[in-house]
Amino acid sequence: MTSSTFSSTPVFDWRDRANKVGFVLRRNPLVLIGVVITIIWVLATLFAYQIAPFDPSVQNINDRLQAPSQTHPWGTDELGRDIFSRVLHGGRITIVAGIAVIVFGSLLGSLIGSISGFLGGNWDELMMRFTELFLAFPTIILAMAITAALGPDLRNAVLALVIVWWPSYARLMRGLVISAKTNQYVDAVESLGATRPYILFRTIVPNCLSPMLVLTTLDIGNAILTFAGLSFLGLGAEPTTAEWGRMVAVGIDFFDQWWMWLFPGLAIATLVMALNFIGDGLRDIFDPRTRK
C-alpha cells in the first residue's frame, strides 16, 4: 500500500463551487449588494488620504457645527472638522480593529478547539471548562471589564475583544474536529504511519475550515460593532480620534446637529449589514442543507 492510495482531503471541485456561487446569487441577490458595499467601504478607507477633501484633525472654529453643504457634504463637528473626511479616516481604525479581532481570535480559538477535540479525554474536559469560563459572561460586559482594567486605549480594546472572542471558535472547531476524525480518510492516513500533528493539522483541520469561514465573515461585522460600542462608551479611541464609535458618542452630545451622529452611524450600520449578507451567502454555498 503506498501513500498515493489515499488522499488526505476530498477533491475540491471548482466548477461545482462556481455553480453554487451562481445559485446563491440568483437566490439571494443581497449577497451581491453586500459585496459591493463592503468593497466600496474598504476602498474608501484605503484611499482616504486621496479621497478626503480635508485633514480629519484640522480644527476650524469658524466652520463649527455647519450643516451639510457643498463645501462640507456631511457637515462639520463641534471643532469645525469635516465629518466626511473623519468618517473615511475613521474606517481605517474601526475596520482594521474588527478584522484584527477576528483574525487573532479565530486563530487562537481554532488552535485550542482543534487540540481539545483531537486529544479528547481529560485534556478535552480541562480545555472546555476553561473555555466555558469566558462564555459564562456576556461578551460586551467582559470586554468592558478587561478594557477598563488594562486602561482605555485602542490596543487594549482590541486585546480585550480577542480575549472574549476566541471561545466561540474553540467550541465550533472542537465539534468539527470530533466529527471529522471519525471519517475513513483519517483512518487511512493514520494507517500509513502519519504523525498525530500531521493528521490533525494537515488532514482534519483543512476539512473543518468551511464553517469557520462562514463564522468569521459574520463575526467581522459583530466585531466592528462591538469595537465601536467600546469606543462609544469611552473605552476605545480617544475623544479626538476619528473613529466611528467615538464620533457617534460625541455626536450624541450635539443631538440637534444630526449629521454629527448620523453619518458615522450609517457607516457602521451599512458595513455590518453588508458583511452579514456576505456571511449568509457563504453559508448557503458551503452548507448543502440550506439549498433546495
Domain ranges for the chain:
79-290
> Under CATH, what is the fold of the domain 79-290?
MetI-like fold (1.10.3720)
- Residue-wise pLDDT tens digits, 216-273: 888 898 999 999 988 888 888 777 888 899 999 998 888 889 999 999 999 999 999 9
The burial of 5, by beta-carbon neighbours within 10 Å (0-12 exposed, 13-18 middle, 19 or more buried), is given as exposed
- Please report how many Cα atoms fall inside a 13 Å half-sphere around the Cα of residue 120, on the Cβ side: 8
SS3 135: helix
C-alpha angle 278-37-84 in degrees, rounded to nearest 5 = 145
pLDDT digits (tens, 9 = 90+) for 283-292: 777 665 555 5
Cα separation, 254 vs 251, in Å, equals 5
Closest to 217 measured CA to CA, from 168, 172, 282, 173: 282
CA distances from 195 to 9, 59, 81, 122, 180 (A): 16, 62, 60, 21, 17
Is residue 64 classed as helix, strand or coil in its secondary structure? coil
CA atoms of 120 and 198, how far apart (whole Å): 17
CB 212 within 8 A of CB 107: no
Most distant CA pair in the chain: distance in Å?
Answer: 82
Provide the residue-wise pLDDT of the chain in tens; the chain has 292 residues: 444 444 444 444 545 555 555 555 666 678 888 889 999 999 999 999 999 999 888 888 888 888 999 889 999 988 889 999 999 999 999 999 999 999 999 999 999 999 998 888 888 889 988 998 888 888 888 889 998 888 888 889 999 999 999 998 999 999 889 888 888 888 788 788 778 888 888 888 888 888 888 888 888 989 999 999 888 888 887 778 888 999 999 988 888 899 999 999 999 999 999 998 888 777 777 665 555 5
| Rounded Cα distance, 8 and 289, in Å | 24
